[in-house]
Amino acid sequence: MNRDRLYFLLLNIGHFLDHLFTLVFATVAALALHREWGLSYAELLAYATPGFFAFGVFALPAGWLADKWSRDGMMVVFFIGIGLASLATSLVRTPLELGIGLFVIGMFAAIYHPVGLAIVTLKWRNTGIRLAANGVWGNLGVASAALITGFLIDHGGWRMAFVVPGLFSIFIGFAYWVLRRETVLTEDRDLKKLKKDAPITTGSVSNRNLLIRVSAIVFLTTAVSSIIFQSTTFALPKIFDERLQGLAEQLSFLFRDENTSQKELIASMIGALAFIVFAVASTAQLVVGSLLDRFGPRRIFMTMAAIQLCFFSLMPSQTDGLALAVALGFMIGAFGQIPINDFMIGKMASGPARARIYGIRYVVSFTVLAVTLPLIAFVYDNWGFDTLFYILATTAFVIFAAVSALPRTLPTQQLQTQNA
């Protein structure tokens, strides 16, 4: 493997780890911690909320540091920092300590999206398929959080779910440093030169108005689609725990041996089913990425929103096999739309300011993610998941309506940040 391919592989592993770390607690809370600490699922979600706020709020300063200092240097900070934070979180003894640990994980997790995506969209051509491939790795991190955590709960306890990925991330951080150490030391000069040489264009009045319209749609759909992403990825293990018990019990018979009880395998089966749904649905990004490079974002985005609207409307009251099939349908729509906004920003944002613009995009996205956690808890406590599905169907309709206002061709003027 040449250095360029290894570079892209390590960036993809970073996306995998970023989403895995942010969702380990979702499975821990759903399958283990509420029993060990005697707290309800809704009560535990409150301790995860600050971590998701950190995931959003620190994206902008992470992008600013990357543009001012070194993008590869920030990636090294990401890998090693989040690994150490995960190891520390494995040692917590109280809910308050847990909340602090998740907050620090969120701080380091905030680095990846503005920095990693800026690298991907600046270094390689065929932006749509590159973002899609990178997005699949992120979705596999989402899927593996349920699978790996469920396995470790059954075979080593919930604390190991923080220890194992933490050690792995630190190892990858040192590998990244070895590969990119020359860039980490010199990239600050390169970024200053790129910023100095970058032209600042104003464009025509009509082009500026079109840019404003597209930017408003990008940030609106970013916020609204984040409600769908957070609700589905965070709550799916709990949804499956409630609605796929019969299917999980049937499947556990296939893997049970004389030393393992059926009950001990239920968490692993639920985690495995969530993994299958996430992994299969994530391949939609590859299809979407290739279509974006050929046809642009408007029609593709509307199709993904329509898929979500249909399947969220079908999900209430479904259980076992039907629930699994419908969940796969709405996850295809949810994952398929992920690279579209990043594709549009990558086409419109200037190179020297790209990490900061991605930072703004993910401040919006992940702040909404944090706000969504109390929404999930409130809706679940009062009405259950059926009401949540109706809310998500309405959200998908809002996305469809907003995306219908996109132009067929993106404006050519580049987004700039002030005082870049």
Please tell me the predicted confidence (pLDDT) of residue 187. Answer: 53
Does 417 map to a domain?
no
Q: What are the two backbone dihedrals, phi and then psi, of residue 156, each rounded to the nearest 5 degrees?
A: -155, -5
Look-up of token digits 């759909």: 221
Most confidently modeled of 195-199, 257-261, 297-301, 404-408? 297-301
Does 271 map to a domain?
yes
Please tell me the predicted confidence (pLDDT) of residue 342. Answer: 81
How far is the C-alpha of 170 from the C-alpha of 358, rounded, in Å? 25
Give the pLDDT band (50/70/90) at residue 353.
low
Residue 121's CATH number: 1.20.1250.20
Please tell me the least confidently modeled range out of 188-202, 219-233, 314-328: 188-202
Instruction: Compute the average pLDDT of residues 188-207.
Output: 50
**Could you give the number of structural domains in the chain?**
1
The answer, yes or no, to whether residue 185 has pLDDT greater than 70, is no
Does 173 map to a domain?
yes
SS3 percent helix, strand, coil of the chain, rounded to 5, is: 85, 0, 15
Does 31 map to a domain?
yes
> Hey, what amino acid is at 103?
F
Does 19 map to a domain?
yes
The answer, yes or no, to whether residue 34 has pLDDT greater than 60, is yes
Please tell me the predicted confidence (pLDDT) of residue 290. Answer: 84
Tens digit of pLDDT for each residue in 80-105? 999 999 999 999 998 899 999 999 99
Specify the 3-state DSSP secondary structure of 349.
strand
Structural domain boundaries, residue 99: 3-194+206-403
In 315-405, where do the E strands start and end? none
Q: Is this structure's pTM higher than 0.75?
A: no
Please tell me the least confidently modeled range out of 38-42, 314-318, 377-381, 403-407: 38-42
Does 132 map to a domain?
yes
Please tell me the predicted confidence (pLDDT) of residue 197. Answer: 45
Does 370 map to a domain?
yes
Residue 409: count other Cβ atoms within 10 Å of its Cβ: 9
- Report the interhelical angle of 95-109 vs 3-28 (nearest 10°): 160
Does 200 map to a domain?
no
Instruction: Compute the average pLDDT of residues 194-214.
Output: 59
Q: What is the DSSP letter of 159?
A: T
